[in-house]
Chain A
Amino acid sequence: MKIERLLPGLAGIVFLAIIPLLPVPPFWLTILNNIGLASLVTIGLVLLTGVGGLTSFGQAAFCGFGAYTTAVLSTNYGVSPWLTLPLSLIVGAATALPLGLITVRLSGHFLPLGTIAWGLALYYLFGKIDLLGRYDGISGIPPVEVAGYRFLSDGSIYYLIWFFVIAVAIGAKNLLDSRIGRGIRALRGGGQAAEAFGVNIVRAKLTVFVFAGVVAALSGWLYAHMQRSVNPTPFGLGMGIEYLLMAVVGGSGHVWGAIFGASIVLIMKDVLQRFLPDLIGTTANLEMVVFGILLVVILQLARDGLWPFVLKLLPKRAARPLPASDDKLAKRTLAPAGSSLIKVEKARKAFGGLVAVNDVSFEVRAGQVVGLIGPNGAGKSTTFNLITGIASLTSGSVFYEGQPMTGDSPREVAKHGIARTFQHAKILPDMSVLENVALGAHLRGTAGVFRSFLRLERRQEATLLAEAAVQLERVGLGAYRDRPAGDLALGQIRILEIARALSADPAVLLLDEPAAGLRHGEKQELANLLKKLREEGVSVLLVEHDMGFVMGLVDHLVVLDFGTLIAEGKPADVRKHPAVVAAYLGGVA
Chain B
Amino acid sequence: MIATFLIQDGVTNGAIYALLGLALVLLFSVTRVIFIPQGEFVAYGALTLALLDGGKVPATTSLLVCFGAVAFLFDLWSMRRGTDIRAFLRSLALNLVLPGVIYGITIVLAPLDLPSVAKALLTILIITPMGVYVYRIAYRPLADASVLVLLIASVGVHLAMMGLGLVFFGAEGLRAEPLADDNYTIGALMVSAQSLCIYGATIAIIVGLYMFFERTLLGKALRATAVNRLGARLVGVRTHLTGVTAFTLAAAIGAVSGVLIGPITTIYYDTGFLIGLKGFVAAIIGGLASFPITAIAAIGVGLVESFSSFFASSYKEVIVFGLIIPVLIWLSLSGGFHEEE
Residues on A close to B: CB < 8 A? 49, 53, 55, 57, 99, 102-103, 105-110, 112-114, 116-118, 120-121, 124-125, 128, 190-191, 241, 244-245, 248, 282, 284-296, 299-300, 303
| Chain B residue at minimal CB-CB distance from A116 | B277
| A286-B155 contact in complex given A110-B284, A128-B318, C-beta closer than 8 Å | no
Answer yes or no: B159 CB below 8 A from chain A CBs: yes
Answer yes or no: B83 CB below 8 A from chain A CBs: no
A513 to B166, CA, bound (A): 59
Contact B148 A289 (CB under 8 A): no
Contact A303 B149 (CB under 8 A): yes
Contact A108 B147 (CB under 8 A): yes
| Chain A residue at minimal CB-CB distance from B159 | A292
Contact A121 B149 (CB under 8 A): no
Contact A124 B331 (CB under 8 A): no
| A110-B337 contact in complex given A102-B332, A128-B314, A293-B160, C-beta closer than 8 Å | yes
Could you list 30 A-B pairs, sorted by A, with CB under 8 Å?
Answer: A105-B332, A106-B337, A107-B147, A109-B151, A113-B151, A113-B284, A116-B36, A116-B277, A116-B280, A117-B277, A117-B324, A120-B317, A120-B321, A128-B315, A190-B341, A241-B159, A284-B166, A284-B167, A284-B171, A288-B166, A291-B159, A292-B156, A292-B161, A292-B162, A295-B153, A295-B156, A299-B149, A299-B153, A299-B156, A300-B141
Q: Which of B147, B321, B328, B340 contacts A102 (CB 8 A)?
A: B328
Contact A289 B337 (CB under 8 A): no
Chain A residues in 8 Å Cβ range of B325: 99, 102, 114, 117-118
Residues 261-277 of B at the A interface (beta carbon under 8 Å):
274, 277
| A190-B328 contact in complex given A118-B322, A292-B158, A293-B160, C-beta closer than 8 Å | no
Q: Which of B156, B166, B281, B328 contacts A296 (CB 8 A)?
A: B156
Choose among B284, B321, B332 the residue with the greatest number of A CB atoms under 10 Å from its CB.
B321
Chain B residues in 8 Å Cβ range of A282: 167
A282 to B322, CA, bound (A): 36
Contact B145 A303 (CB under 8 A): yes
A110 to B146, CA, bound (A): 14
Chain B residues in 8 Å Cβ range of A291: 156, 159
A-B residue pairs, 3 tightest by C-beta? A292-B160, A295-B156, A292-B159
A53 to B337, CA, bound (A): 17
| A292-B157 contact in complex given A105-B335, A106-B331, A299-B149, C-beta closer than 8 Å | yes
A57 to B273, CA, bound (A): 15
Contact A288 B160 (CB under 8 A): yes
Chain B residues in 8 Å Cβ range of A191: 339
A57 to B151, CA, bound (A): 11
A245 to B284, CA, bound (A): 24
Nearest-CB distance from B266 to chain A (Å)?
19
Chain A residues in 8 Å Cβ range of B148: 49, 53, 55, 108-109, 112
A53 to B161, CA, bound (A): 27
A72 to B82, CA, bound (A): 65
| Chain A residue at minimal CB-CB distance from B341 | A190
A429 to B43, CA, bound (A): 45
Answer yes or no: B34 CB below 8 A from chain A CBs: yes
Contact A286 B163 (CB under 8 A): yes
Contact A289 B163 (CB under 8 A): yes
Given A107-B338, A117-B324, A245-B156, 7 extra CB contacts under 8 A: A107-B339, A107-B340, A110-B284, A117-B321, A284-B171, A292-B156, A303-B145
| A296-B160 contact in complex given A113-B34, A121-B322, C-beta closer than 8 Å | yes
Nearest-CB distance from A223 to chain B (Å)?
23
Chain B 4-35, CB-CB to A under 8 Å as 1, else 0, gives: 00000000000000000000000000000010
Answer yes or no: B152 CB below 8 A from chain A CBs: yes
Contact B339 A289 (CB under 8 A): no
A269 to B153, CA, bound (A): 19
Residues on B close to A: CB < 8 A? 34, 36, 138, 141-142, 145-149, 151-153, 155-164, 166-167, 170-171, 274, 277, 280-281, 284, 288, 314-315, 317-318, 321-322, 324-325, 328-329, 331-332, 335, 337-341
Nearest-CB distance from A258 to chain B (Å)?
15
Contact A103 B166 (CB under 8 A): no
Q: Which of B145, B156, B159, B324 contacts A114 (CB 8 A)?
A: B324
Contact A114 B167 (CB under 8 A): no
| A289-B164 contact in complex given A55-B152, A108-B339, A241-B155, C-beta closer than 8 Å | yes
Contact B138 A296 (CB under 8 A): yes
Chain A residues in 8 Å Cβ range of B149: 299, 303
Contact B328 A106 (CB under 8 A): yes
A529 to B142, CA, bound (A): 44
A108 to B341, CA, bound (A): 11
Contact A292 B163 (CB under 8 A): yes
Nearest-CB distance from B110 to chain A (Å)?
23
Contact A288 B328 (CB under 8 A): no
A413 to B341, CA, bound (A): 22
Chain A residues in 8 Å Cβ range of B138: 296
Chain B residues in 8 Å Cβ range of A112: 148, 151
Chain A residues in 8 Å Cβ range of B141: 300
Chain B residues in 8 Å Cβ range of A102: 325, 328-329, 332
Chain A residues in 8 Å Cβ range of B338: 107
| Chain A residue at minimal CB-CB distance from B160 | A292
| Chain B residue at minimal CB-CB distance from A288 | B163
| Chain B residue at minimal CB-CB distance from A287 | B163
| A299-B145 contact in complex given A110-B284, A114-B325, C-beta closer than 8 Å | yes
Contact A244 B152 (CB under 8 A): yes
A481 to B146, CA, bound (A): 30
Contact B151 A110 (CB under 8 A): no
Chain A residues in 8 Å Cβ range of B341: 190
A484 to B149, CA, bound (A): 24
Contact B321 A118 (CB under 8 A): yes
Chain A residues in 8 Å Cβ range of B145: 299, 303
A125 to B317, CA, bound (A): 9
Chain B residues in 8 Å Cβ range of A124: 315, 317-318, 321
Contact A289 B160 (CB under 8 A): yes
Chain A residues in 8 Å Cβ range of B161: 292
A181 to B282, CA, bound (A): 37
| Chain A residue at minimal CB-CB distance from B154 | A296
Contact A110 B328 (CB under 8 A): yes
| Chain B residue at minimal CB-CB distance from A240 | B155
| Chain B residue at minimal CB-CB distance from A280 | B167
| Chain B residue at minimal CB-CB distance from A134 | B314
Contact A55 B156 (CB under 8 A): no
Chain B residues in 8 Å Cβ range of A303: 145, 149
Contact A244 B155 (CB under 8 A): yes
Contact A109 B34 (CB under 8 A): yes
Contact B152 A300 (CB under 8 A): no
| Chain A residue at minimal CB-CB distance from B164 | A289
Q: Which of A118, A125, A190 contacts B324 (CB 8 A)?
A: A118
Chain A residues in 8 Å Cβ range of B146: 108
Choose among B166, B337, B339 the residue with the greatest number of A CB atoms under 10 Å from its CB.
B339
Nearest-CB distance from A539 to chain B (Å)?
32
Nearest-CB distance from A284 to chain B (Å)?
5
Chain B residues in 8 Å Cβ range of A114: 324-325, 328
Nearest-CB distance from A586 to chain B (Å)?
29
| A300-B142 contact in complex given A103-B328, A248-B152, A292-B158, C-beta closer than 8 Å | yes
Chain A residues in 8 Å Cβ range of B166: 284-285, 288
Chain A residues in 8 Å Cβ range of B322: 117-118, 121
| Chain B residue at minimal CB-CB distance from A108 | B148
A372 to B284, CA, bound (A): 44
Contact A293 B162 (CB under 8 A): no
Chain A residues in 8 Å Cβ range of B156: 245, 291-296, 299
Nearest-CB distance from A285 to chain B (Å)?
7
Nearest-CB distance from A122 to chain B (Å)?
8
A498 to B36, CA, bound (A): 44
Contact A296 B157 (CB under 8 A): yes
Nearest-CB distance from B226 to chain A (Å)?
15
Contact A299 B142 (CB under 8 A): yes
| Chain B residue at minimal CB-CB distance from A128 | B314
